[in-house]
Amino acid sequence: MKKLSIIAVWVMAAGLWSCSDVRRKQRATYMPDMFYSRALETYTPIDTLHKQGINYNRMPVPGTVKRGELFPFELGPDKPGEETNYQASKQIKNPLPPLNEAQMKEAERLYLVNCGICHGTALDGNGPLYKGGDGPYPVAPANLIGQEMYQNMPEGQMFYSVTYGKGQMGSYASQLSTTQRWMVIHYIKAQQAAGAKGAAKTQAGSQTTGTGQSGTTIDTTNKQ
């Protein structure tokens, strides 16, 4: 009787083991391109992909606009040595309504993250990367708050330079979305207006003050 039960246990165990249908090996794959995706690390060169016949350029499809995003800047970059669009950009107004307090706070954050390292927290062109000439950055960033030229610079032209770069300053189009870049311009203009107000102790212009309410929601998370 004892023997029988031992045999029965063995038979059952063997049966269970042989019935297991877990297959460790993949036999055939339907749509292997989807199954084995090609993982691509950020900032890795993509030219090797083109050689393999893979068309991927990390850019949005031309002519498409991300949901909730502003229309793209209407001016393209100038050809080297030309200034036509840079000059024309003076006419372009900030398409965003004045920012409310929370949006202005976000604009300030974006400025401090992306621009403050060079232009300084006070916008005086003396960020930690430049440090009055002692820092590693070789050229003086624009003094956005003290210099008349920048104080009076039209917002469209600022946007142009932040989008396509200017002199030693690179483009910020891949770090900040169109909306975010216009928000930062609002922030700079507000700081300039506040600075001018402080200096002259008079009402300085009707620039964005940061307290304006807007009914429009601004999607600040988008990148373009």
Residues that bind ligand HEC (CB under 6 A): 114-115, 117-119, 129, 137, 139, 141-142, 150, 157-158, 161-162, 166-169, 172, 176, 184
Distance CA 96, CA 73 (A): 13
What's the min distance (Å) between Cβ of 174 and ligand HEC? 11
Measured CA distances, 129 to 115, 166, 172, 181 (Å): 10, 17, 17, 21
What's the min distance (Å) between Cβ of 109 and ligand HEC? 12
Please identify, using beta-carbon distances, which residue of 49 and 169 lies nearer to ligand HEC: 169
Instruction: List CB contacts of 153: < 8 A, sequence separation 6 or more.
Output: none
Q: Which residue is nearest to ligand HEC (CB)?
A: 167
Please identify, using beta-carbon distances, which residue of 167 and 215 lies nearer to ligand HEC: 167
Please identify, using beta-carbon distances, which residue of 49 and 196 lies nearer to ligand HEC: 196
Distance CA 73, CA 205 (A): 26
Please identify, using beta-carbon distances, which residue of 98 and 130 lies nearer to ligand HEC: 130
Distance CA 110, CA 130 (A): 19
